[in-house]
């Protein structure tokens, strides 16, 4: 069991004030939950309807937060969007190479180009990962990262074959990035943060209307913009490394606004999804102190998760009383878990 007991649980309507107020600790690069009450109200309504199964699986958005048991403090959030391109187009730049040659002059040049594509319409996306800056580097965030994958493992039938994650690209504290200024601003005529918010609050038709239809030659961009292609922001680098360790890879797709890398994998090939187990609880031990360290959750769609020690047998597991209380399970209940 973790030194400070916690639960990772679904976001509910009672968390609205926290969702709105935590934005004061978030820099401008985090735009998936904007500081806008109308937008957050609609987002939270979708989340609650998702967990209640009141909307079709493709429309669902699942948000979880980490809550400390002893204090009730909420210290982080992480989410899953079932279908990245449901009702809207999910755009990326694909970074590819073309070769141009002149036989007469005996010259050949290889060029990188950016093409606007929509190749991940049906993919499931990891979204809205954030940990309170005061808690970073203290092992608060890693269970949140594991928890989303455990949830996906348990309910894989509700999600797409492909799992993706857009990693935040490089920008300064004001949300400015050389890639935006060189590639997108000439076509949009607005600030990066404004456009990023519009992608969350509109059907993204403005992107189709305004973005260039022809390939963009990388060689024509300023060097400072070229150097940001596929590069993660410093604060997003740990998340990138974690996901890459889980089997997601950079396959030359980038965000159209900040050039951050898009990572992808077949959901079935993700390490934790492959290695997780579903077993029945045979016993609950008050003094369990030795065993396997795991991320563990109940099997309700409104999944509650935590970390702890279990004793693993062929078809069953023994868990501690504390973990059982956090997960709200008893002897005979099933749990999904994975070693961490």
Tokens (6 digits) for 255 = 């965000």
Out of 3, 35, 111, 233, which one is annotated catalytic?
Answer: 233
What is the SS3 assignment for 86?
coil
Please answer whether residues 229 and 259 qualify as being in contact, where contact means their C-beta atoms are separated by less than 8 angstroms. yes
Please answer whether residues 74 and 18 qualify as being in contact, where contact means their C-beta atoms are separated by less than 8 angstroms. yes
Please answer whether residues 334 and 280 qualify as being in contact, where contact means their C-beta atoms are separated by less than 8 angstroms. yes
How much of the chain is helix, strand and coil, in % rounded to 5? 35, 30, 35
What is the SS3 assignment for 333?
coil
pLDDT in tens, 225-270: 999 999 999 888 999 999 999 999 999 999 998 999 999 999 999 9
User: Residue 285: its pLDDT value, please?
Assistant: 94
Q: For residues 330 and 251, what is the distance between their CA atoms, to the nearest angstrom? A: 44
Q: Where are the beta strands (DSSP E) in the chain?
A: 6-10, 61-68, 74-81, 92-102, 107-117, 124-131, 162-166, 216-217, 249-254, 261-266, 277-285, 292-297, 305-312, 316-320, 334-339
Q: For residues 43 and 63, what is the distance between their CA atoms, to the nearest angstrom? A: 10
Tokens (6 digits) for 257 = 């606004």
Sign of CA dihedral 232, 235, 236, 240: positive
Q: Quick one: what percent of the chain has pLDDT higher than 70?
A: 93
> What does the domain layout of the chain look like in residue ranges?
6-95+116-272, 276-339
pLDDT in tens, 5-46: 999 999 999 999 998 887 666 665 566 677 678 888 999 999
**Per-residue pLDDT for 2 more than 60?**
no
**Per-residue pLDDT for 193 more than 90?**
no
pLDDT in tens, 116-175: 999 999 999 999 998 887 777 668 889 999 999 999 999 999 999 999 999 999 887 766
pLDDT in tens, 36-72: 788 889 999 999 999 999 999 999 999 999 999 999 9
- Domain 6-95+116-272 in CATH: superfamily? Gcn5-related N-acetyltransferase (GNAT) (3.40.630.30)
Please answer whether residues 196 and 257 qualify as being in contact, where contact means their C-beta atoms are separated by less than 8 angstroms. yes
Q: Is 313 a known active-site residue?
A: no
Mean predicted lDDT score pLDDT of the chain: 91
Q: In the CATH hierarchy, which top-level class contains the domain 276-339?
A: mainly beta
Q: For residues 47 and 81, what is the distance between their CA atoms, to the nearest angstrom? A: 10
What is the SS3 assignment for 230?
coil
What global pTM score does this model have? 0.92
Tokens (6 digits) for 102 = 């002149």
């Amino acid at each position: 069991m973790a030194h400070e007991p916690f639960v990772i649980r679904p976001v509910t309507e009672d968390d609205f004030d926290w969702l709105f107020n935590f934005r004061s600790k978030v820099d401008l690069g985090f735009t998936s939950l904007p500081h806008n009450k109308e937008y957050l109200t609609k987002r939270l309504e979708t989340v609650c309807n998702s967990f209640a199964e009141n909307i079709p699986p493709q429309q669902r958005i699942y948000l979880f937060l980490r809550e400390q048991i002893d204090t009730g403090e909420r210290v982080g959030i992480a989410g899953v969007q079932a279908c990245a391109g449901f009702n809207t187009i999910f755009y990326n730049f694909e970074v590819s190479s073309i070769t141009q040659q002149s036989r007469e002059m005996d010259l050949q040049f290889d060029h990188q180009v950016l093409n606007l594509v929509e190749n991940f319409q049906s993919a499931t996306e990891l979204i809205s990962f954030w940990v309170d800056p005061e808690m970073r580097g203290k092992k608060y965030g890693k269970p949140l990262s594991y928890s989303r994958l455990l949830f996906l493992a348990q309910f894989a039938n509700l999600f797409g074959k492909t799992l993706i994650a857009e990693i935040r690209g490089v920008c300064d504290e004001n949300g400015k990035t050389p890639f935006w200024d060189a590639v997108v601003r000439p076509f949009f005529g607005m600030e990066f943060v404004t456009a990023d918010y519009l992608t969350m609050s509109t059907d993204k038709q403005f992107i189709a209307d305004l973005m260039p239809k022809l390939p963009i030659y990388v060689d024509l961009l300023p060097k400072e913009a070229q150097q940001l292609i596929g590069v993660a922001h410093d604060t997003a680098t740990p998340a990138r490394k974690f996901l890459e360790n889980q089997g997601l890879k950079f396959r030359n797709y980038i965000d159209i606004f900040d050039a951050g890398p898009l990572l992808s994998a077949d959901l079935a090939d993700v390490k934790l999804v492959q290695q997780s187990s579903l077993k029945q609880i045979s016993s609950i031990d008050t003094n369990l102190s030795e065993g396997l360290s795991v991320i563990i959750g109940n099997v309700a769609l409104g999944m509650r998760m935590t970390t702890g020690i279990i004793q693993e047998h062929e078809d069953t597991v023994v868990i501690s009383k504390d973990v059982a209380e956090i997960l709200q399970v008893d002897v005979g209940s099933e749990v999904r878990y994975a070693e961490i």
